[in-house]
């Protein structure tokens, strides 16, 4: 997903002289091809994220479209004031490419795990937040980032995530994507949890419980109409995310459902309000916290008395 | 061996003594406008605006290329007041130059006013919204890079406070400016010696300030920030060709009214009585 995103930046830069790339202290070889082809538009600025965002904002206010890439935790927590003021208050068209959403950096511990990025960014006016499910969805997203108004946060998965998105469903920033039809429950995903949701939906369909799958790669602005329309036809809605249950997709959907008076019950599957106390792999931590197809399926089965 | 004695809270650098020339009529008038604007808003950062007056008047009178009637003119020089709380001094100059009508000063901080307690880009002539300290220099680095990428010759000026320079992001930006050899970037530090709580040398000492900027790769000049002729000379000097410039402007917070000078309680004032306002204006007569 990351390689796809960065290669897309290079492609966009070839097409559009406004595109510039800024990294902090990324791995050797990052975007070497772009650096060789257009060195004046390639910036590697060191372990100084606050300055990185301010610089990007200055370039954006002067008409450039900066794509900024580093690890999600450093791109959000470390320079949050710069995101709020320099990017969002100015509506500067900065594109933030955030490596390692959720538990991607599981073995590196909580300092590197972005479990609250969606929540903190969602609270800031003018920010758009997108978490694609896989590299193919990233490929569909990237051309749309060029002229999107205001700042945009793009949350990346681990890389080599299974391809689960559907090329037949048109991608649009701000739109929910319906990938399965059914009324046994409404299953909502963002980012790579789409794979787990589809797995659960397929198993449930085999047991005679077809579920509606609404994939929400755009967490903000949330496609409220799609959520409410789908929720009006079910008794149970479940959000699934690789993020704290506070303030992310589950939080956003809860706000919408509660205020609409939708009659369905909501269950949020995500990271409980704790820091991970174990290492291992992303998959192990997701399993550990019950962000699994099994847990989703069991919740639906339980609601149907099975 | 005995450990060295621990430093006491007041062991920072000695205060800077200035031999500034007396304020001329224009400097006094600008300060009167600041007091009137503060009074109209019912509050404002007086000391931080007063220390800036000579810096800003020289920038706007003698240095900056701009078209007030066309604030977004692409060939303009960019100016960022990174110490956004000094905005009263900026507003009176922008009004005087015609960026917006004088009457806006009388609606400072009003619900339906244009001008708030920190500068925002909705105000004609304001290039960046500031107020949270330590942001403006990074944005200025971005501006200067943009000028270079487009092959344009406009310059970028950023005014920092000395207290503001306690923010680590200022030094991140300084490193970036030097790395990119941004000769079109000039930093002016309004080194007014006082921050909200007290003397900067006691709260978190920044001296030796000029040595720091030199070490960070800037062509650095120290001068009296209330000396209009010295400011003019420094700002009109040909910039060095391969590095950014830092002008360390030694100033006095609250400069112009004896009771306000280097007095922490005049950092920010609200609800000044009519008598106090009259006394301040008389002191600037």
**Closest partner residue to B176 among A41, A51, A86, by Cβ?**
A51
List the structure tokens of B137: 């220099």
Residues of B with Cβ-Cβ distance to A20 under 8 angstroms? 149
> Is the Cβ–Cβ distance between B282 and B31 less than 8 Å?
no
pLDDT tens per residue across span A2-56: 999 999 999 999 999 999 999 999 999 999 999 999 999 999 999 999 999 999 9
* A61:B127 CB<8 A: yes
Asked if residues B29 and B54 have their Cβ atoms less than 8 Å apart, the reply is no
- Using an 8 Å CB-CB cutoff, list chain A residues near B155: none
The rounded distance, in Å, linking the Cα atoms of B10 and A120 is 40
Q: List pLDDT tens digits, range A184-219.
A: 999 999 999 999 999 999 999 999 999 999 999 999
Q: Is the pLDDT of residue B10 over 90?
A: no
CA distance B279 to B274: 9
pLDDT (tens digit per residue) in B128-171 = 999 999 999 999 999 999 999 999 999 999 999 999 999 999 99
> From the centroid of its chain, how far is CA A246?
15
pLDDT, tens digit, 9 for 90 and up, residues B52-62 = 999 999 999 99
Rounded CA separation B220/B244 (Å):
9
Contact B139 A62 (CB under 8 A): no
Number of residues that make up chain B: 285
Residues A178 and A169: beta-carbon distance below 8 Å: yes
Give the pLDDT confidence of A132-174 residue by residue, as tens digits: 999 999 999 999 999 999 999 999 999 899 999 999 999 999 9
How far off is chain A from B141, nearest CA to CA, in Å? 6
Helices B87-97 & B25-41 angle (0-180, nearest 10): 110
**This prediction's pTM:** 0.96
Query: Which single residue is written with the structure tokens 């993020």?
Result: A243
Give Cβ neighbours of residue A108 (< 8 Å, ≥ 6 apart). Answer: none
Give residue B6's pLDDT: 45
Question: Using CB atoms, which residue from A41, A58, A63 is nearest to B139?
Answer: A58
A161 to chain B, closest Cα gap in Å: 35
Return the residue of B nearest to A84 by Cα: B132
Asked if residue B156 lies in contact with residue B77, where contact means CB atoms within 8 angstroms, the answer is yes
pLDDT digits over B79-131, tens only? 999 999 999 999 999 999 999 999 999 999 999 999 999 999 999 999 999 99
Residue numbers in A near B154 (CB within 8 A): none
> What is the pLDDT at residue B7?
46
3-state helix, strand, coil in chain A (%, to 5): 40, 20, 40
Euclidean distance between CA atoms A34 and A25, whole angstroms: 16
CA distances from B90 to B45, B114, B117, B264, B266 (A): 12, 14, 11, 21, 18
Give the integer Cα–Cα distance in Å for A246 and A273. 7
CA distances from B190 to A95, A297, B77 (A): 34, 63, 20
Chain B hits for A50, CB-CB cut-off 8 Å, are 134, 138, 168-169, 172
Model confidence over A80-130: pLDDT tens digits? 999 999 999 999 999 999 999 999 999 999 999 999 999 999 999 999 999
């Amino acid at each position: 997903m990351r390689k796809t995103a960065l290669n897309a930046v290079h492609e966009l830069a070839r097409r559009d002289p406004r595109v510039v790339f800024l990294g902090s202290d990324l791995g050797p070889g990052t975007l070497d091809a772009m650096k060789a082809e257009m060195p004046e538009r390639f910036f590697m600025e060191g372990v100084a994220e606050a300055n990185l965002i301010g610089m990007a904002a200055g370039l954006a206010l002067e008409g450039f479209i900066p794509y900024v890439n580093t690890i999600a935790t450093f791109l959000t927590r470390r320079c949050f004031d710069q995101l709020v003021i320099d990017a969002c208050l100015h509506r500067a068209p900065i594109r933030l490419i955030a490596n390692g959403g959720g538990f991607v950096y599981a073995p590196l511990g909580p300092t590197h795990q972005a479990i609250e990025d969606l929540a903190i960014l969602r609270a800031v006016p003018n920010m758009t937040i997108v978490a694609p499910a896989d590299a193919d969805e990233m490929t569909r997203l990237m051309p749309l980032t060029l002229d999107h108004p205001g700042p945009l946060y793009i949350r990346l998965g681990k890389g080599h995530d299974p391809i689960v998105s559907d090329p037949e469903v048109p991608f649009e920033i701000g739109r929910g994507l319906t990938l399965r039809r059914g009324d046994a429950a409404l299953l909502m995903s963002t980012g790579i949890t789409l794979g787990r949701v589809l797995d659960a939906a397929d198993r449930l369909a085999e047991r005679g419980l077809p579920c509606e799958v609404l994939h929400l790669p755009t967490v903000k602005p949330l496609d409220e109409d799609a959520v409410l329309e789908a929720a009006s036809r079910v008794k149970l809605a479940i959000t699934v995310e690789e993020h704290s249950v506070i303030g992310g997709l589950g939080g956003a959907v809860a706000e919408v459902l509660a205020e609409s008076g939708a009659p369905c019950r909501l269950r949020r599957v995500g990271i409980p309000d704790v820091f991970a106390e174990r290492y291992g792999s992303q998959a192990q931590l997701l399993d550990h916290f019950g962000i699994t197809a099994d847990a989703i399926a069991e919740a639906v089965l339980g609601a149907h008395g099975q | 061996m005995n450990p060295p004695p621990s430093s006491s809270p007041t062991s920072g650098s000695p205060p800077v003594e200035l031999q500034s020339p007396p304020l001329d009529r224009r400097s006094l008038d600008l300060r009167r406008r600041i007091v009137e604007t503060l009074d109209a808003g019912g509050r404002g950062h007086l000391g931080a605006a007063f220390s800036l007056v000579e810096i800003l008047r020289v920038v706007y009178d003698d240095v900056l290329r701009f078209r007030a009637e066309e604030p977004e003119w692409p060939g303009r020089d960019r100016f960022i007041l990174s110490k956004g709380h000094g905005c009263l001094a900026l507003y009176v100059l922008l009004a005087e130059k015609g960026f917006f009508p004088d009457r806006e000063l009388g609606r400072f901080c009003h619900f339906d006013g244009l001008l708030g307690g920190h500068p925002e880009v909705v105000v004609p002539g304001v290039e960046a919204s500031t107020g949270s300290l330590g942001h403006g220099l990074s944005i200025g680095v971005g501006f200067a890079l943009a000028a270079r990428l487009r092959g344009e010759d406009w310059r970028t000026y950023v005014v920092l406070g000395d207290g503001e320079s306690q923010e680590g992001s200022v030094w991140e930006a300084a490193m970036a400016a030097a790395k990119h050899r941004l000769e079109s970037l000039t930093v002016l530090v309004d080194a007014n010696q006082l921050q909200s709580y007290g003397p900067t040398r006691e709260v978190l000492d920044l001296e030796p300030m000029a040595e720091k900027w030199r070490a960070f790769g800037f062509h650095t000049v120290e001068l009296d920030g209330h000396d209009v002729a010295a400011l003019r000379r420094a700002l009109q000097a040909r910039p060095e060709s391969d590095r950014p410039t830092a002008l360390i402007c030694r100033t006095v917070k609250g400069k112009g009214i004896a009771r306000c000078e280097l007095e922490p309680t005049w950092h920010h004032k609200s609800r000044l009585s009519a008598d106090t306002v009259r006394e301040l204006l008389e002191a600037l007569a």
